[in-house]
Amino acid sequence: MKNLNRIHLSSLRAVEAAGRLGTLRAAADELGVTVGAVSQQVQKAEKQLGRILFERQPKGLQATPLGVEITRRLTTAMTELSAAIELAETDREETLTVSVPPVLAEKWLVKRLSGFHKQHPQYRVRLDASVTIIDPGRSDVDICIRVGRESWTGVKCEKLLEQRVFPVCSPALAAGLETPRDISGYPIIYDPDAMFGWEIWLAPNDLKKDILRRGPVLSNASLCLDGAIAGLGVFLAWEPMATDAINAGQLVAPFADRYPTGLYYWLIEAEEGSRNPGVRAFADWLKAELL
């Protein structure tokens, strides 16, 4: 296809439109340019090809035999190009790419996506599990969910949910946790990447960190939650991460109070908004699920 480098696509479009429609005026109306612009592009194509494609007659253009054949092939090619562009636009509109923290995706969102699909079957959701800050206006991601204390600049941010923490453990361990101080009798499951510490829960209960027993250190919050389900110790969890396990009876929150970390779940969109109507549909559904 190296020969395509010798001639501009705009010139080929002018040749195709003029040959198919039969007049410069009709070609200009379709292409949204002036008659003179179409004429110049046709002449440029003929010069670059070194062949005459149209005879200029008083009644308008008359395609030469070569011009007829080239127009036919160009029409086929332009039709395919148009279909390719339409396919890309259609796929972009129907596919909704959502970037979400891995733990939230695994422990909460994936289990609820069927509900979104029932309400909006026209959208196919693609999940991108990540904590990296992404600008939806400069990537193929349509919408992000992130955790942070403050909103980010250069994007549109909306608070979804305040993060609140509370101890969770297996039903068997929970039987011995009648008061907050009783937690000293059980190992604590640690997440080394946590954005907060146990003091958030300890301080309001007049407890010091030295009462905590060392337990297993697991590499991420998802494993920590699984460890709590398995009875390895007590884990400081949060909503909505632990919600399903508690509802299923796999975990127990032995104390009613839940304490804010100062962190929030944020919904992040492109600063100028998205042309994908699925973004608004997903945002509305997500907020309803989190209520």
Per-residue pLDDT at 3 = 60
Q: In this model, does residue 150 exceed pLDDT 70?
A: yes
**Closest to 255 in 3D by CA, of 190, 172, 178, 163:** 178
Q: Is the pTM of this model over 0.85?
A: no
Per-residue pLDDT at 26 = 85
In 169-285 the beta strands, taken as DSSP E runs, fall at 187-190, 213-217, 235-238, 259-270
Q: Which 3 state secondary structure label does DSSP give 133?
A: coil
CATH of 163-263, one of 3.40.1370.10, 1.10.3260.10, 3.40.190.10, 3.40.630.40: 3.40.190.10
CATH 1.10.10.10 residue ranges of the chain are 2-93
pLDDT > 90: percent of the chain: 56
Fold of 2-93: Arc Repressor Mutant, subunit A (1.10.10)
198-220 mean pLDDT: 95
Give dist(CA 95, CA 90) in Å, integer.
Answer: 8
Q: In this model, does residue 274 exceed pLDDT 80?
A: no
CATH 3.40.190.10 residue ranges of the chain are 95-155+265-290, 163-263
Per-residue pLDDT at 7 = 77
Q: In this model, does residue 183 exceed pLDDT 70?
A: yes
166-173 mean pLDDT: 97
Give dist(CA 192, CA 212) in Å, integer.
Answer: 16
47-53 mean pLDDT: 88
Supply φ then ψ for residue 213, to 5 degrees: -90, 140
* Helical packing angle, 9-21 and 65-94, nearest 10°: 110
Angle at 243 (CA atoms; ends 238, 248), nearest 5 degrees: 140
Per-residue pLDDT at 87 = 59
pLDDT > 70: percent of the chain: 95
Q: What letter would DSSP give residue 158?
A: E
Q: What letter would DSSP give residue 140?
A: S
Give dist(CA 235, CA 187) in Å, integer.
Answer: 9
Per-residue pLDDT at 88 = 58
Q: In this predicted model, which residue has the larger pLDDT, 10 or 284?
A: 284
What is the dotted CATH code of the domain comprising 95-155+265-290?
A: 3.40.190.10
CB 155 within 8 A of CB 268: yes
- Taking every pair of Cα atoms in the chain, the longest distance, rounded to a whole number of angstroms, is 101
- Hey, which of 19-28, 71-80, 91-100, 250-259 has the most confident mean pLDDT? 250-259
Q: List 126's β-bridge partners, or say none.
A: 97
Contacts 24+ apart (CB under 8 A), 244-247: 244/107, 244/108, 244/111, 245/107, 245/168, 246/168
Give dist(CA 168, CA 250) in Å, integer.
Answer: 10
Q: Which two tokens stand for residue 156?
A: 């549109």
pLDDT digits (tens, 9 = 90+) for 81-123: 876 766 555 555 588 999 999 999 999 999 999 999 999 999 9
Q: Which two tokens stand for residue 214?
A: 């060392």
Count other Cβ atoms within 10 Å, centred on residue 1. 4
Q: In this model, does residue 153 exceed pLDDT 90?
A: no
pLDDT digits (tens, 9 = 90+) for 71-91: 899 888 888 887 676 655 555
HSE, CB side, 13 Å, CA atoms: give it for residue 22. Answer: 1
